[in-house]
Copies of this chain bind each other. A is one copy, B any other.
Amino acid sequence: MNTGNKLWRGSQRPIHIQEVGTRDGLQVEPVFVPTEDKIALVNALSDAGLAKIEVTAFVSPQAIPALRDAETVLREIQRRPGVVYSALVPNVRGAERAIDARADEFNLVMSCSETHNLANLRMTRAQSFAALADVIALAKATANGPALNVSLSCSFGCPMEGDVPAEVVLDWAARFVDLGVRGVTLCDTTGMAYPSQVAALTEAFRARWPATELTLHFHNTRGMGLANVLAAIDAGADRFDASLGGLGGCPYAPGATGNVCTEEIVHALELMGYATGVDQDKLLGAARWLPALVGHDVPSQIVKAGRRLDLHPVPADFEAIRERALARG
């Protein structure tokens, strides 16, 4: 028994929710979502009060045609003060495009697993690190340049290698912290994280780098997404990636579902008394638009079932049922 565990009483502690559906979600969709719809979606997410939005990726349009309109989207969204508009940047060429389009933040990605990095990025980890170090140097040399965040894939396990030791994850984080990045995201790329592990790694990170912005990025592949968020909060984290509707996935882990669902996480945390700053009506409005945009149902349980107190009518014959029951005395 653990009477009085503060985890269950949020006490309006701020938790920052960062939307990745527009990048991590849309990049794996087979349909091309029209540019004006992407812009409207980002604007709706801004209006809902999310802390950060990973708007798009400055990758090769041939490699990921779904995001070939990166410049246009990032240039034409309405920038809401206080929201960080981030973009995935894989290399110097992408960085130049993202600077032109005025990304507030670069999100740099490599994997803690050598096998996953090779399979996904076709480079060794050392090669990825060197390429990202060049991007960091360019960003730092740019007047009013972007903030820098690095996302470390497979921080909680690799779907091909298995466990990835915490020391390996922290070593790669250290190399980027030494280069002066503002933030690090520990990514559970294929849903292998579990709460005990999350609490331990979060605690270790926070203890070593209290001033670095730490984000946790979970997938709900094995149903542990929200539990992992709570374990991370308990260990001192306050920033989470999430994807509207629960969009997303990973081609190297068949059966993997998407990122944790933004509206599910916000719904749960707000019920628990945490302050996400998100307007749930606006967020759910955007989520309910998704199936029409991507052409299929989305995993979101909140889109399916509504919020906790979205009530249902009594059966049509309820009064007759009641009268018959009361007549029995």
Contacts and interface: CB of A to CB of B under 8 A. Distances in A.
Copies of this chain, complex-wide, total 2
A312 B122 contact: no
A302 B124 contact: no
A292 interface: no
A257 interface: yes
Interface string A202-220: 0100100000000000001
B302 A196 contact: no
A115 interface: yes
A301 B268 contact: no
A118 B318 contact: yes
Nearest to A264: B223
Nearest to A128: B325
A239 to B, nearest CB: 15
Contacts of A326: 124
Contacts of A124: 325-326
Interface size range on A against B: 35 or more
Interface string A186-207: 0000011011110110010010
B257 A119 contact: no
A141 interface: no
A253 B309 CA distance: 12
Interface in A278-321: 301-302, 304-309, 311-315, 318, 321
B311 A160 contact: yes
Contact of A122 (B9, B230, B325): B325
A221 interface: yes
Nearest to A326: B124
